[in-house]
Structure 1
Amino acid sequence: MTRKNILITGASSGLGKGMAIEFAKQGCNLALCARRVEKLELLKKELQELNPNIHVFLRALDVTKQEDVFKVFKAFEVDFKNSRETLDRVIINAGMGKGASLGKGYAKQNMQTAMTNFCGAISQMEAAMEIFREQNHGHLVLISSMSAFRGYPRAMTVYAATKAGVKSLAEGLRVDVLHKPIKVSTIFPGYIESEMTDSVGKPPPFMIALDKGSKLLVKSINKEKAKTFVPYWPWYFIKLIMPFMPLKMLRKF
Structure 2
Amino acid sequence: MPHPVRQRILITGASSGLGEGMARRFARMGRDLALAARRTDRLEALRDELLAAHPGIRVVTAALDVDDAAAVEKVVPELAGKLGGIDRFVANAGIGKGAPVGTGSAWANRATLFTNVLGTHAQCEAAVELFRARGSGHLVVVSSVASIRGMRGTRTAYGASKAALNALAERIRSDLLGTGIRVTTVLPGFIATDINVGRRGPFTVDLGTGVDALTAAIEREPVRAYVPEWPWRPVSALLRVLPLPVVRRLA
- TM-score bracket, shorter-length normalisation: over 0.9
For residue 178 of structure 2, what is the amino acid of its counterpart?
H
Q: Which moved more, 1:242-251 or 1:182-191?
A: 242-251
Match of 1:38 in 2: 41
Which residues of 2 match residues 30-179 of structure 1 at below 5 A?
30-81=33-84, 86-179=85-178
In the alignment, structure 1 residue 212 sits paired with structure 2 residue 209: yes
Match of 1:228 in 2: 225
For residue 136 of structure 1, what is the amino acid of its counterpart?
G
Q: Quick check: 2:96–2:196 contact (8 Å CA) kept in 1?
A: no
For residue 29 of structure 1, what is the amino acid of its counterpart?
D
User: How far is 1:216 from its partner?
Assistant: 0.9
User: How far is 1:152 from its partner?
Assistant: 1.3
CA distance in 2, matches of 1:94, 1:102: 23
Q: Which runs of 5+ in 2 are unaligned?
A: none
CA distance in 2, matches of 1:191, 1:46: 27
CA deviation map 1:158-216 (0-9, x unaligned): 0000100000011111111111100000001101110012243xx41100110111111
CA distance in 2, matches of 1:179, 1:30: 27
User: How far is 1:246 from its partner?
Assistant: 2.2
CA deviation map 1:38-86 (0-9, x unaligned): 11011112211221111111111110100000111010121012xxxx2
CA deviation map 1:224-251 (0-9, x unaligned): 1111111111110011111222223223
CA deviation map 1:97-141 (0-9, x unaligned): 101011111111111100110010110000001100011110000
Q: Which moved more, 1:239-248 or 1:60-69?
A: 239-248
**Residue 246 of structure 2: which of 238, 244, 249 is its match?**
249
State the percentage of identical aligned residues. 42
For residue 150 of structure 1, what is the amino acid of its counterpart?
R
Which residues of 2 match residues 179-218 of structure 1 at below 5 A?
179-200=178-199, 203-218=200-215
C-alpha root-mean-square deviation of aligned residues, in Å? 1.0
CA distance in 2, matches of 1:180, 1:166: 21
TM score, norm. by length of structure 1: 0.95
Q: Which runs of 5+ in 1 are unaligned?
A: none
In the alignment, structure 1 residue 24 sits paired with structure 2 residue 27: yes
| Secondary structure, counterpart of 1:155 in structure 2 | helix
CA distance in 1, matches of 2:217, 2:17: 17
Aligned residues between the structures: 247
**Residue 8 of structure 1: which of 11, 14, 23 is its match?**
11
CA distance in 1, matches of 2:211, 2:41: 22
CA distance in 2, matches of 1:249, 1:38: 44
Which aligned segments of 4 or more residues in structure 1 are displaced greater than 6 angstroms? none
Q: Quick check: 2:147–2:160 contact (8 Å CA) kept in 1?
A: yes
